[in-house]
């Protein structure tokens, strides 16, 4: 909704972040301090998250944050500080001269959390039987479709330690998006579920390892196993005794025995828990920053600033002109407004981002103008020529009038046929809305009426991905440093081409679905960028995609907050980064995080 609706482990497809990214990832269950006293002898961390997991099945995860950063690893990994690709389950790899053949050599002695060997057969099974299986539609598949043909790579076992990936054409993001982005899953635990059919004819895998499964039965390869799950309260992770990493002295990692992940939907409660010592780390927003900054010494914690966040917040209009069963997905009158690029540009000029940044972010952020994450080396800044829509309601009105809109005696905007311009914006029902009321107020100043419709996260996901019966949506998408991760957003066939979504496999057909020339151009540029290995040329290609996105505005971007976290001084080696979504941004190196006794002098 990575891009799909998430980013597991360090999964490389962009996805829908939980709506409203300025709401911090902090939350609660029932008095976490009790765990500190009950297990004083056990090295543990008490962390927090905003929502319950939707599944324990890595391949089916669609939300962010999620559990996969604790539980699964891939062949390679991305260093959150250096941004370099480093070995993980694979100790090394070789790339052919023509850049279409990758051979990975696994480490010796790898094991799953149940003690069974982790082998090349698991790698081949994970890709050929799960991720490349057309009967198991996952958001991962978009990231594995390569080039204009959108063909999948071929994966085969060479010997007991080596596995080969053969690509249909050169694909420069392969190491980052596939090798370091897609976790390996256990064949011995999941083969039967893949091959067995449910009563509806679908693979049993699609309903395997749901949250009603005994967590101790989930087989993983990451630093932690799932020990227990109490819905709406907490998850407890326990150190995986078969995890492969060791420190310089040969001691098995991770250092910390247990992690308690509190679940609560109230950021104020999380802040209170952190201040009282119940949480060890808390991602914070601008509203908490000034308060906590004054308490750093007394509270024995420090605030880490990872720079601009890698996600994006936006509003988007449904540009789909299609029909289902003869009924338009979008009211034809409103569809004409939404598909008028001048209308979208006028809306962009009417939104007061500087006031949002000053009032909501307390100045701890900046305007967002691009689909590419600000921390990415491929980001095109306004100084480099990217078009911006600085707050200018008068210009917005002039654009609307020139496009045939008009105003009545009450200052309400009407289209050329006299229809009042009014639409509904989907927003998340969770948390306290701060941004959307301001958008509503800003647009009212140019005569547009916005009706805010709070809905459950899952209901919104169903509307924007399946039923497609929506008008405007306020949301967020996680990001990263590799633009190709967002191909499922910008591919016209992508499963998260949300502003003009094509029906996915198994969904009802759409008649009259149209794709604009600029959509096709961005799609082609993403394919071209993935073929290119020379960095300067890749930057030029992705710069053009950003120019097109800002000219035609399928997404109207809002602002980019600073990524901030308060961390107890007793926790060592936390390397907070903005290039991953939560919780990977603070636990990407969880295996080397340890507890000390550092105090502020």
Q: Which helix (H) or strand (E) holds 87?
A: strand 85-87
Q: What is the pLDDT of residue 431?
A: 64
Token match 């070995």: residue? 87
Residue 599 pLDDT: 54
Phi, psi dihedrals of residue 199, rounded to the nearest 5°: -65, -25
What is the SS3 string spanning 420-472?
ECEEEEEEECCCCCCHHHHHHHHHHCCCCEEEEEEECHHHHHHHHHHHCCCCE
What pLDDT is recorded for position 42?
A: 84
Q: Say yes or no to pLDDT of 23 above 70.
A: no
In this prediction, residue 8 has a pLDDT band, given cuts at 50, 70 and 90, of: very low
* Domains by residue range for the chain, with CATH: 312-560 (3.10.105.10)
Res 258 pLDDT > 90: yes
- Name the residue with higher pLDDT: 411 or 582: 411
Give the 3-state secondary structure of residue 562. Answer: strand
| Token couple for 414 | 């009407």
pLDDT of 12 reads 34
Burial class (CB in 10 A: 0-12, 13-18, 19+), 286: buried
In the prediction, which pLDDT does 432 show?
66
329, 322 Cβ separation under 8 angstroms: yes
Crossing angle of the two packed helices 267-275 and 286-299, in degrees rounded to 10 = 10
pLDDT number for residue 600: 44
Binning pLDDT at 50, 70 and 90, where does residue 458 land? confident
| Percent of the chain at pLDDT exceeding 90 | 79
List pLDDT tens digits, range 494-530: 888 999 999 877 788 999 999 999 999 999 999 999 9
* Strand pairing report for 422-428 and 472-477: parallel
pLDDT of 212 strictly over 80: yes
Residue 415: beta bridge partners?
none
* C-alpha atoms less than 13 angstroms from C-alpha of 300 in its C-beta half-sphere: 14
By the 10 Å C-beta count (0-12 exposed, 13-18 middle, 19+ buried), 518 is classed as middle
Degrees, nearest 5: CA angle 328-331-333: 125
Per-residue pLDDT at 57 exceeds 60? yes
- The most confident of the ranges 10-24, 130-144, 401-415, 477-491 is 401-415
pLDDT tens digits along 141-189: 878 989 888 899 999 999 999 999 999 999 999 999 999 999 999 999 9
Task: Measure the CA–CA gap between 452 and 1, rounded to whole angstroms.
Answer: 20
Gap between the Cα atoms of 601 and 590, Å rounded: 26
Inter-residue contact 80 to 180 (CB < 8 Å): no
Rounded to whole angstroms, the Cα distance separating 271 from 592 reads 26
Burial of 458 (0-12, 13-18, 19+ CB in 10 A): exposed
Instruction: Specify the DSSP class assigned to residue 100.
Output: -
Q: Residue 543: phi, psi to the nearest 5?
A: -65, -40
- Whole-model pTM: value is 0.81
Q: Is the pLDDT of residue 107 over 70?
A: yes
CA angle 8, 171, 154 (to 5 degrees): 80
CB count within 10 Å of CB 235 equals 26
- Summarised one tens digit per residue, pLDDT across range 27-43 is 333 444 455 544 456 88
Tokens 């949250």 — which residue? Answer: 211
68 or 598: which leads in pLDDT? 68
Residue-wise pLDDT for 324-376, tens only, equals 999 999 999 999 999 999 999 999 999 999 999 999 999 999 999 999 989 89
pLDDT at 64: 78
Looking at the predicted structure, is the pLDDT value of residue 11 above 70?
Answer: no
* Distance between first and last Cα of the chain: 45
* DSSP three-state, residue 267: helix
Task: In whole angstroms, give the CA distance from residue 462 to residue 417.
Answer: 33
Tell me, what DSSP letter sits at residue 405? -
Instruction: For residue range 263-274, list pLDDT tens digits in order.
Output: 987 888 999 999
pLDDT score of 540 more than 70: yes
Residue-wise pLDDT for 322-332, tens only, equals 999 999 999 99
Q: What is the helix (H) or strand (E) element at residue 535, kind and residue range?
A: helix 535-552
pLDDT higher than 80, residue 96 = yes
Would the pLDDT of 392 be above 70?
yes
| Conformation bin of residue 171: beta by default, left when phi > 0, alpha when psi is -120 to 50 | beta
Strands 101-106 and 90-95, by their bridges, are: antiparallel
CA distance 85 to 13: 16
Q: Which two tokens stand for residue 154?
A: 């071929």
Identify the band that residue 16 occupies on the pLDDT scale cut at 50, 70 and 90: very low
Q: What integer pLDDT is reported at residue 15 of this predicted model?
A: 38
- Look up residue 501 and give its DSSP letter: P
d(CA 230, CA 246): 31
Q: Mean pLDDT of all residues in the chain?
A: 90
């Amino acid at each position: 909704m990575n891009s799909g609706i998430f980013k597991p482990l360090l999964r490389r497809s962009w996805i829908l972040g939980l709506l409203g990214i300025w709401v911090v990832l902090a939350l609660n269950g029932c008095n976490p301090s009790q765990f500190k006293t009950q297990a004083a002898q056990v090295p543990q961390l008490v962390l927090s998250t905003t929502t319950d997991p939707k599944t324990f099945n890595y391949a089916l995860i669609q939300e962010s944050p999620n559990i996969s950063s604790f539980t699964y690893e891939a062949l390679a990994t991305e260093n959150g500080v250096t941004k370099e690709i480093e070995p993980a389950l694979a100790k090394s790899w070789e790339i052919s001269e023509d850049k279409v053949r990758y051979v990975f050599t696994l480490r010796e002695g790898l094991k799953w959390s149940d003690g069974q060997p982790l082998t090349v057969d698991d790698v081949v099974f994970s890709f050929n039987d799960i991720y490349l299986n057309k009967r198991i539609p996952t958001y991962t598949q978009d990231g594995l479709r390569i080039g204009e043909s959108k063909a999948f790579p071929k994966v085969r076992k060479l010997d007991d330690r080596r596995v080969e990936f053969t690509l249909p054409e050169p694909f420069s993001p392969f190491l980052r998006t596939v090798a370091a982005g897609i976790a390996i899953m256990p064949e011995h635990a999941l083969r039967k579920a893949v091959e067995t059919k449910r009563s509806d004819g679908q693979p049993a895998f699609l309903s395997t390892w749901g949250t009603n499964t005994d967590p101790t039965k989930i087989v993983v390869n990451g630093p932690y196993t799932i020990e227990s799950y109490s819905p709406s309260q907490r998850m407890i992770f326990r150190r995986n005794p078969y995890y492969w990493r060791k420190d310089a002295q040969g001691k098995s990692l991770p250092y910390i025995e247990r992690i308690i992940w509190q679940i609560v939907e109230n950021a104020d409660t999380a802040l209170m828990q952190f201040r009282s010592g119940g949480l060890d780390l808390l991602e914070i927003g601008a509203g908490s920053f000034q308060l906590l900054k004054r308490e750093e010494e007394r509270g024995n914690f420090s605030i880490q600033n990872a720079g601009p966040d890698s996600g994006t917040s936006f509003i988007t209009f449904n540009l789909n002109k299609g029909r289902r069963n003869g009924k338009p997905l979008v009211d034809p009158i409103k569809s004409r407004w939404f598909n008028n690029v001048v209308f979208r540009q006028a809306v962009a000029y009417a939104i007061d981002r500087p006031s949002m940044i000053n009032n909501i972010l307390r100045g701890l952020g900046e305007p967002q103008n691009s689909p590419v994450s600000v921390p990415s080396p491929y980001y095109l800044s306004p100084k480099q020529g990217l078009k911006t829509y600085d707050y200018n309601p008068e210009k917005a009105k002039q654009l609307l009038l020139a496009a045939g809109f008009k105003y009545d005696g009450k200052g309400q905007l009407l289209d050329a046929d006299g229809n009042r311009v009014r639409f509904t914006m989907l927003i998340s029902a969770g948390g306290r809305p701060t941004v959307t009321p301001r958008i509503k107020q800003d647009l009212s100043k140019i005569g547009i009426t916005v009706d805010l419709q709070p809905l459950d996260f899952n209901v919104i996901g169903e509307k924007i991905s399946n039923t497609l019966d929506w008008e405007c949506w306020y949301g967020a998408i996680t990001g990263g440093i590799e633009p190709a991760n967002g191909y499922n957003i910008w591919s016209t066939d992508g499963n998260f081409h949300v502003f003009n979504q094509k029906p996915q496999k198994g969904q009802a057909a759409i008649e009259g679905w149209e794709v604009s020339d600029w959509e096709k151009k961005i799609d082609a540029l993403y394919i071209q960028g993935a073929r290119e290995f020379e960095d300067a040329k890749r930057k030029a290609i992705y710069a053009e995609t950003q120019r097109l996105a800002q000219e035609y505005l399928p997404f109207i971007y809002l602002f980019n907050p600073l990524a901030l976290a308060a961390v107890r001084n007793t926790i060592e080696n936390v390397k907070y980064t903005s290039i991953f979504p939560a919780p990977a941004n603070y636990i990407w190196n969880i295996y080397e995080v340890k507890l000390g006794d550092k105090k502020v002098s």
